[in-house]
Amino acid sequence: MAAPLTTAGYVAGVTAGDPAVLARAITLVESRRPEHRRLAQEVLTELLPRSGGAHRVGITGVPGVGKSTFIDQLGINLTAAGRRVAVLAVDPTSSRTGGSILGDKTRMERLATDPRAFIRPSPAGETLGGVAGATRETIVLCEAAGFDVVLVETVGVGQSETVVADMVDFFLVLMLAGAGDDLQGIKKGVLELADLIAVNKADGDNRTRAERAAADYRLALHMMTPATPTWTPPVLTCSGLADEGLDKVWEQVELHRRKLEHTGELDARRRAQQVRWMWSMLDARLHDDLRETPHLADELPRLEADVRAGATTPTAAADAVWDLYRRHRRA
C-alpha cells in the first residue's frame, strides 16, 4: 500500500505530470471522508493557479452512437499532433452494486496505452445526471498536470448532458443517421446545449444517410436559440471508425475557442460556471447533512414509506423533514 501523501507531495507529483500521483489525487477529491475533503481542498487551492489553460470539451450521444470509438480516434489524432489528452469517461453505475458497469480503458484501447493520454473511469454514484460529483475538481487536476485537452464523456442519458455542458467550454453532440425517425426522439434541450452536432458513422453505405441526417439537424437548429449568441452551431458528418471528418470537428472546437476568447465570453462562461459549481456543492452538502442529522435520519424511512404508500403527499413529507431539520439546527 502506498504511503500517504502530504499536500506538498500531491502538488509536486501532479505538476510533474506523474500519472500515479494524479490518479491518487483524483481518488482523494472523490472521497467523501471529512479528512480527505479538507486535504483535497488544500491541494486544489495550490493547483488552481496552474489550471484553466485546456480545451474543455464535453461529448454526449445515445448508447450505440460510437462515443468511445470517436474519442479514442480523436484522442490519438490529438496526441500525434503534440497534445496531451485527458479523458474523463463517466460510466453508468449499477444501482445494486454501485460499481462501474463499463471499463473505459478497454473501450479506448489505443488511447489507454498512449503515454500522452490519461483516461479516468469514474462511477457516477448518486450524483445528478450520472456525472461524478468530483468531475470539476478532476478537470482542475488534469490541467495542472499539463493536459491541454480534457474530454468529458457523458453517459448520454438522464440529465447528464446539462450537468456536463455546465463544466466545459464546448459541448459536442454525436448523432446517428436516420434523422427522419431520430428527430422525433431528440430532446430539444440537448440540441440547445450543443456547440456542434456531428453525425457519426458516416462511412461506406451509410454516408448518404448521414448527409441527409445532417441536413435535417441543420433545419432543426434553425428553430432553436444557440447556446452562445456569437456562435452558430455547425452540423458535420464524421466517422470515428474510419477517421474521417474528425479534423474538421476539431477545427470547429479551436475556432469556437478563439471567438469566445476574443469576445470575453469564455472567461465570463467559466466564472459563471464556478459560481454554479459552488451552489451545486452546497446543495450536495445540505443533502448529506439532512440524511446525517440525528433523529431526522430515523424519521426519513418512515416518511418515505408514507409517501410510497400514499398516506401523505411528497410536499407534506418534505415540509415535515424541513421542519425537523430546522428545529435541530436551532437546538
Question: Which residue matches cell numbers 469556437?
Answer: 256
- pLDDT category at 279 given cuts 50, 70, 90 is confident
For 263, the 3-state DSSP assignment is helix
Most confident of 99-103, 137-141, 218-222, 283-287: 137-141
Q: At residue 30, does pLDDT exceed 90? A: no
Helices 19-30 and 7-15 meet at what angle, rounded to 10? Answer: 130
Domains of the chain and any CATH numbers: 1-50 (1.20.5.170), 51-261 (3.40.50.300), 277-330 (no CATH)
Contact 224, 193 (CB under 8 A): no
Contact 119, 87 (CB under 8 A): yes
**Strands ordered across the beta sheet of 170-175:** 117-123, 85-91, 149-153, 55-60, 170-175, 196-199, 235-237
Dump pLDDT digits (tens) for 143-198.
999 999 999 988 655 567 788 888 999 999 999 886 444 554 556 677 888 999 99
Give the pLDDT confidence score for residue 147 in this predicted structure: 98
Question: What does pLDDT average to over the chain?
Answer: 86
Residues in the chain: 331
CA angle in degrees (0–180, nearest 5) for 77-89-96: 155
- If one compares 64 and 266, the residue with the highest pLDDT of the two is 266
How many Å apart are CA 170 and CA 253, to the nearest integer?
A: 7
How many Å apart are CA 202 and CA 268, to the nearest integer?
A: 36
Q: Which helix (H) or strand (E) holds 76?
A: helix 67-80
Dump pLDDT digits (tens) for 227-265.
777 899 999 999 999 999 999 999 999 999 999 999 999
Strand ranges (E), the chain: 55-60, 85-91, 117-123, 149-153, 170-175, 196-199, 235-237
Would you state the cell numbers that stand for residue 203, as one nine-digit string?
Answer: 462511412
Dump pLDDT digits (tens) for 73-109.
999 999 999 999 999 976 544 343 344 434 555 578 8
Give the pLDDT confidence score for residue 156 in this predicted structure: 55
- pLDDT category at 119 given cuts 50, 70, 90 is very high
